[in-house]
Amino acid sequence: MANDIDLHLGKRLRRRRRLLGLTQQQLAAAIGIRFQQVQKYECGANRISAARLWQLANALEVPVGYFYDGLDEGEPAQPIVEAAPVVEEPRSGEVLARKETMDLIRAYYQLGERPRRRLLDLAKSLNNDNAV
């Protein structure tokens, strides 16, 4: 049975892989393992060794510490739950776990610089309209 830290690392792994638009197969190929192993890491069924965590961090272009972000020292880790739509202001971890957020980020970075700037300005102006 997976412990809270294994679950947390797996959720962070899945989040970053999805953010980069990689499949489990692509990530597995990049570090020389089978995609089933990536599945097991992501659900916390298998513990990620230090060496494998280093390989994953390099493949996903993040520091090793990325996987531990959100863990409080001295407290048991709480697994990150995929967020459902909420009315109140969601925490940043929940926002990044949503599929629509990943889709929006991917679409944003596929735009050229000028359209990205215009989209950002539009989003900011819409937010200001709601605040009034």
Q: Is residue 53 part of a domain?
A: yes
- Integer distance in angstroms from the first to the last C-alpha of the chain? 50
Q: Is residue 105 part of a domain?
A: no
Q: What is the pLDDT of residue 98?
A: 73
CATH assignment of the domain containing 34: 1.10.260.40
Please say if the pLDDT value at position 74 is more than 70. no
Please say if the pLDDT value at position 113 is more than 80. yes
Q: Is residue 132 part of a domain?
A: no
Please say if the pLDDT value at position 73 is more than 70. no
Single pTM value for the model? 0.59
What's the domain range around 30? 4-80
Q: Is residue 96 part of a domain?
A: no
Q: 17 CB contacts (<8 Å, ≥6 apart)? A: 24, 27, 38, 42, 60
Mean pLDDT along residues 76-95: 48
Residue in the block written with tokens 């009034």:
132
Number of domains in the chain: 1
Q: Is residue 39 part of a domain?
A: yes
* Cα-based torsion angle of the residue sequence 46, 49, 39, 62 in order, rounded to the nearest 10 degrees: 150
Q: What is the pLDDT of residue 49?
A: 95
Please say if the pLDDT value at position 116 is more than 90. no
Q: Is residue 106 part of a domain?
A: no
